[in-house]
Chain A
Amino acid sequence: MTSCTILELLDVDLKEHNKLQLSCLAGRSGLSNKIISSKISRPGLPLSGFFESFAGDAVQIFGHGEQSYLDMLDENNDYSNIERLFSYNVPCCIFTHNYTPSERFIEIAEEASTPLLKTALISSDFSRHIYQLLDELFAPTQTIHGVFVEVYGIGVLITGDSGVGKSETALELIERGHRLISDDTVKLRNISSSFLVGGGENPMLAHHMEIRGIGIINLANIFGVGAIRNKKQVQLLVHLEEWDSDKNYDRVGEENMKASFLGIDIPKLVIPIKPGRNIPIIIETAARNERLKQLGYHSAKEFDQSVLKWFETESAKKMYYINEENTL
């Protein structure tokens, strides 16, 4: 998203259990103002008259320091810097500690139709939450075709051509006690360039699935609330494809293929489909194996190591036998 309105920000926050505890004090006409960057600004310096490098396009947060300064300005009846601050068309001002600014301040904000919001949180907690929220709102996104499920706590993204059996595989996994995050369209978000989070494109349509021959079904109703999840980190990509006898598939598990989305690498497996192969169980095993890898145990490498060790002991023994033969 390249921009979002204040209203959208409040809406997202409400869905996240009202973490920011925001309420609108004044300037409701400006609730459609656009926030165009994920930055936030503490306007202490501008209030004292220093406007160089002032981030006027960012959300302005008035903490304790700014509030005391406002009180002082109010006592001196000096509003020039406040007026100048609002001339930058700031998207909104937020007061922490449930502070209410002076009447004159509210008037200036109303004139500039800039919303004034307040929260009961202290500035440090509030900044942390709003950074997280804006980061998510402004994260680069990509919508891909696939099914996203959580298997043993691992976020597994299943891709493949239409009709290869992604939805059916997911259905079997849910039947076996795993969770569906999104069917068909998965919206990926790059969160602070460190991890990839996937979810449904539209929460209204999430947790529905189309199964050929049955139609559209609601999984939350059929399998219960335990079978669904709203978002999850993508940790493994499983690509399903028709078995191609000319192609070499990974037999040992040391290839370490990667897929890249929005600049983030994810381990990738290519699983060939053939009648009689139980794909859900293969995916379950892949998820368990991925968990082991995250815990620092790499099955294929350990296996190779023990084979090498075995060879070593065998050849060491052989030396003795050769010596014995010689002495005889």
Chain B
Amino acid sequence: MVNKNLIVRNRAGIHARPAAMIVKVANKFKSELYMEKGSIKINGKSIMGVITLGAGFKSEIMISCEGDDEVAMADALEKLFENRFEQ
């Protein structure tokens, strides 16, 4: 299992479009993805779940990837967060 702490860098936070991007990236991999913020832990492969996190600007999210391609998945997500969801 790979755990990573990621910080939301785009001003609008994780609204519908960034959430869709996370899910799209996550679904390219076979591993399971869980995202945690505060007391909420959700499945990272579902849009509604990711939006439920309510992750605003500068909030910190812990992702945990588990499976055969967990390292590649965590790297891809980290890149996505660093690119501010291409905005």
Contact = CB atoms under 8 A, between A and B. Distances in A.
Interface residues of A, number: 15
Contacts of B54: 202
Interface string A268-303: 000000000000000000000000000000000000
A150 to B, nearest CB: 19
Nearest to A1: B39
Contacts of A141: 39
Contact of B42 (A1, A143, A183, A210): A143
Interface stretch (B3-11, B45-53, B63-71, B78-86): B45-53
A209 B47 CA distance: 9
A143 B45 CA distance: 15
A201 B47 CA distance: 14
A143 B16 CA distance: 21
| Chain B interface size range | 10 to 19
B46 A216 contact: no
A205 B41 contact: no
Nearest to A146: B43
Given A201-B52, A205-B51, A216-B16, A184 B40 contact: no
B42 A216 contact: no
Contact of A185 (B16, B39, B45, B49): B49
A64 B51 CA distance: 48
Contacts of B39: 1, 141, 143
Interface in A136-168: 141, 143, 145, 162
Given A184-B52, A185-B52, A201 B46 contact: no
A162 B45 contact: yes
A145 B41 CA distance: 9
A216 B43 CA distance: 17
A136 to B, nearest CB: 15
A208 interface: yes
B42 A145 contact: yes
B43 A145 contact: yes
A183 B48 contact: yes
A202 B52 contact: yes
Interface of B: 16, 39-43, 45-49, 51-52, 54
10 contacts: A143-B41, A184-B47, A184-B49, A185-B46, A201-B42, A201-B52, A202-B52, A202-B54, A205-B48, A210-B47
